[in-house]
């Protein structure tokens, strides 16, 4: 994507007056669950605790996984979901979804957890002054995988994204399977056609069709829409999103029916056309009660490639038929579908449409609303976590210095999802000293000893400046005309 080969890592920007004070947790590639303060100091590492994602609970407990199933036999299956204390001791564990007998492996129970989970007490798993996840009791919603066959979708074996609820003892007390609600998902005839022929076939994991690839799932929690009488937004209902199908939906916990849906089509009404196509999105959730924007839908609209539909020049078969080479963070009123707040390449400062790719993560990523009204954004494909104000000012930025080694993610510093929590959630640590970090002026910064110590001799060449101005005006006219056509 045109990024430089050499760039700073750790904290590169920190405005102590405007950034939210707290610790950030993320899965550091090849390390484990890593907790850093606002100056990038690494204050705790739970080595080897995988995170899909990692979430930190009050009191310094952390959720994650002890390992992943071999990709030869499964697609992103975590073997378990565990809760560990500050010292790494396991205090809760779930792995009894399915007894797995993979060729060449020891048979074992597995959770097959992937992408998301929620502990009772918190709708989203991130901090809100009105919510607190339980640490010593309560139920847990878990997004898991199940191998299914449904010829209404395809004759091929499907990888389904089942949602289960387990109690503290690990008993499954509720479950919901999206493949049983295929007719409620809004696929048109063209989409059904390509889904039947190619439901996102994955060569790994036994060759299943990862047809939806749900990557976020959370309860709605108490919210103003339900308080105003809209039953679709019952606090127990579950909001989720399908990365491959460009679908965001709410499932009734009581009936299992889909009661609210956005996508897969974004052209059928004026409100949808105004919203624009949401493609390959991640971390769709309702902003929890107690935070600015509570009740609105917040999501990371990746762009990239996703969707099923009619073939087009970029998608000869109709799979991955929607494409866009930049990302957006959207806060949406779920009733009117109006955009309440957004962070796009324009708000990031890339006003030239030709430069929009500079805010772009075609996979992973997330957004979290903070108590001071700021938004923490994980631009995950390049390991960037940053915080912006409601006025889009960058007030904190961190680049992960850790890279994967080997496999499909070799040399990538990818971050799936990061969360920030207040200092008081971690009583084991003293509140750290906060030191401002001024952004570098990249137009003048030079690597030491790399810049010439001499001077540049400058001369004017007759006619060159005039031709340069003519060229700049011509390019501006082309860009302006392109921008008008896009609008």
Beta-bridge partners for 318:
none
Residue with tokens 């324009």: 346
**Domain chopping of the chain, boundaries:** 10-456
What pLDDT, on a 0 to 100 scale, did the predictor assign at position 458? 72
The least confident of 15-19, 99-103, 279-283, 480-484 is 480-484
The least confident of 284-293, 423-432, 451-460 is 451-460
Rounded to 5°, angle at Cα 186 from 185 and 189: 125
Q: What is the largest CA-CA distance in the chain?
A: 82
Provide the token pair at 479.
């860009």
Residue 303 has pLDDT above 60, yes or no: yes
**Alpha carbon of 373 to those of 171, 291, 369: distances in Å?**
38, 7, 7
CA 134 to chain centroid, in Å, comes to 24
CA–CA separation, 156 and 280 (whole Å): 23
Mind listing the pLDDT tens digit for each residue in 156-210?
999 999 999 999 999 999 999 999 999 999 999 999 999 999 999 988 777 899 9
Percent of the chain with pLDDT over 70: 92
**pTM of the predicted model as reported, rounded to 2 decimal places:** 0.93
> Strand 328-332 relative to strand 375-379: parallel, antiparallel, unpaired?
unpaired
Rg, the chain, Cα only: 24
Residue 459 has pLDDT above 90, yes or no: no
Mind listing the pLDDT tens digit for each residue in 349-398?
998 989 999 999 999 999 999 999 999 999 999 999 999 999 999 999 99
Sorted by sequence, the CB contacts under 8 Å of residue 380 that are 6+ apart come out as 361, 363, 364, 365, 366, 414, 415, 416, 417
CA–CA separation, 137 and 29 (whole Å): 30
Percent of the chain with pLDDT over 90: 85
Provide the token pair at 176.
């919901």
Q: What are phi and psi of 109, to 5 degrees?
A: -75, 145
Q: Are 107 and 101 in contact (CB under 8 A)?
A: yes
Single out the residue of 97, 34, 96, 101 nearest to residue 64, CA to CA: 34
Single out the residue of 77, 366, 90 nearest to residue 216, CA to CA: 366
Residue 480 has pLDDT above 50, yes or no: no
What pLDDT, on a 0 to 100 scale, did the predictor assign at position 466? 54
Provide the token pair at 441.
């002026």
What pLDDT, on a 0 to 100 scale, did the predictor assign at position 479? 44
Residue 18 has pLDDT above 80, yes or no: yes
Fold of 10-456: Methylamine Dehydrogenase; Chain H (2.130.10)
Residue 6 has pLDDT above 90, yes or no: no
Residue with tokens 């009488």: 229
Mind listing the pLDDT tens digit for each residue in 61-82?
999 999 999 988 999 999 999 9
What pLDDT, on a 0 to 100 scale, did the predictor assign at position 353? 87
The least confident of 30-34, 73-77, 405-409, 449-453 is 449-453
Mind listing the pLDDT tens digit for each residue in 78-95?
999 999 999 999 999 999
Average pLDDT of the residues in 319-326? 97
CB atoms within 10 A of CB 186: 16
CA–CA separation, 97 and 124 (whole Å): 23
Single out the residue of 97, 95, 245 nearest to residue 178, CA to CA: 245
């Amino acid at each position: 994507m045109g990024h430089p080969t050499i760039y700073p890592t750790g904290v590169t920007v920190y405005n102590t007056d405007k950034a939210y004070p707290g610790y950030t947790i993320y899965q550091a590639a090849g390390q484990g669950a890593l907790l850093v303060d606002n100056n990038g100091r690494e204050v705790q590492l739970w080595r080897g605790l995988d995170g899909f994602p990692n979430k930190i609970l009050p009191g310094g407990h952390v959720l994650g996984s002890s390992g992943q199933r071999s990709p030869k036999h499964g697609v992103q299956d975590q073997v378990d979901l565990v809760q560990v204390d500050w010292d790494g001791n396991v205090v809760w564990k779930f792995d009894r979804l399915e007894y797995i007998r993979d060729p060449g492996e020891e048979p074992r129970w597995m959770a097959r957890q992937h992408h998301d989970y929620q502990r009772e007490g918190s709708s989203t798993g991130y901090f809100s002054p009105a919510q607190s996840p339980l640490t010593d009791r309560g139920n847990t919603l878990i997004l898991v995988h199940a191998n299914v066959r449904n010829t209404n979708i395809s004759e091929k074996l499907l990888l389904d994204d089942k949602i289960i609820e387990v109690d503290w003892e690990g008993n499954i007390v509720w479950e919901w399977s999206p493949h049983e609600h295929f007719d409620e998902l809004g696929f048109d005839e063209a989409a059904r056609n390509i889904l039947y022929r190619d439901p996102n076939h994955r060569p790994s994991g036994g060759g299943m069709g990862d047809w939806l690839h749900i990557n976020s799932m959370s309860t709605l929690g108490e919210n103003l829409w339900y308080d105003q009488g809209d039953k679709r937004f019952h606090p127990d209902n579950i909001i989720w999103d399908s990365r491959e199908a460009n679908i965001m939906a709410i499932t009734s916990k009581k009936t299992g029916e889909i009661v609210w849906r956005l996508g897969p089509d974004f052209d059928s009404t004026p409100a949808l056309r105004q919203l624009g196509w949401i493609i390959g999105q991640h971390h769709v959730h309702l902003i929890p009660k107690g935070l600015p924007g509570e009740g609105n839908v917040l999501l990371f609209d990746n762009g990239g490639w996703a969707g099923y539909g009619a073939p087009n020049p970029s998608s000869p078969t109709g799979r991955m038929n929607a494409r866009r080479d930049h990302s957006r963070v959207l806060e949406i009123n779920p009733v009117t579908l109006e955009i309440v707040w957004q962070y796009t390449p324009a708000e990031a400062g890339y006003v030239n449409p030709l430069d929009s790719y500079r805010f772009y993560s075609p996979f992973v990523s997330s957004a979290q609303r903070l108590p001071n009204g700021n938004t923490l954004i994980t631009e995950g494909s390049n390991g960037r976590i940053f915080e912006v104000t409601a006025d889009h000012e960058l007030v904190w930025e961190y680049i992960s210095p850790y890279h994967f080694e080997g496999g499909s993610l070799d040399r990538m510093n990818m971050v799936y999802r990061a969360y920030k929590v207040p200092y008081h959630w971690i009583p084991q640590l003293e509140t750290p000293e906060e030191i401002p970090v001024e952004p570098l002026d990249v137009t003048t910064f030079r690597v030491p000893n790399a810049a010439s110590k001499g001077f540049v001799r400058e001369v004017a060449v007759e006619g060159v400046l005039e031709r340069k101005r003519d060229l700049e005006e011509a390019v501006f006219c082309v860009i302006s005309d392109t921008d008008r056509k896009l609008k």
